[in-house]
């Protein structure tokens, strides 16, 4: 499948931040989350999975509007919950 910007999943670093609660935007289980994920490590994890993606810097996460790190848009080949878990596992593997 090819990347389609109109039909892509959006991933924010905040989804994987261990210090955030679910209400603050964390989307993965705390045991899979990491401390202070950044856009570059998120991009590296997505690249390792082998999916097509696009990095958008300067975008503001609504729950963390004072930080303009950015987001990643990824082709939709997996359900979002599976994608989040795969990316979270890659992020944890990078840190260890």
For the chain, the C-alpha Rg in angstroms (whole number) is 12
Q: Give CA–CA dist 25/92, Å, rounded.
A: 18
Task: Report all structural domains of the chain as residue ranges with CATH numbers, in order of start.
Answer: 5-95 (3.30.56.30)
pTM summary value: 0.90
Determine if residue 70 is left, alpha or beta; phi over 0 gives left, psi from -120 to 50 gives alpha, anything else beta: left
CA 25 to chain centre: 11
The predicted-structure confidence for 43-92, as pLDDT tens digits, reads as follows 999 999 999 999 999 888 887 666 778 999 999 999 999 999 999 999 99
Asked if 59 contacts 8 with a C-beta cutoff of 8 angstroms, the reply is no
The pLDDT score that the predictor gives to residue 79 is: 96
């Amino acid at each position: 499948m090819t990347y389609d910007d109109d039909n892509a999943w959006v991933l924010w670093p905040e989804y994987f931040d261990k210090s955030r609660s679910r209400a603050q935007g964390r989307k993965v289980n705390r045991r899979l989350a990491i401390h202070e994920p950044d856009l570059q490590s998120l991009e590296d994890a997505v690249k390792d999975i082998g999916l097509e993606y696009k990095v958008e810097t300067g975008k503001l996460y609504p729950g963390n509007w004072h930080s303009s790190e950015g987001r990643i848009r990824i082709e939709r080949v997996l359900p979002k919950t599976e994608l989040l878990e795969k990316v979270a596992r890659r992020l944890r593997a990078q840190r260890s």
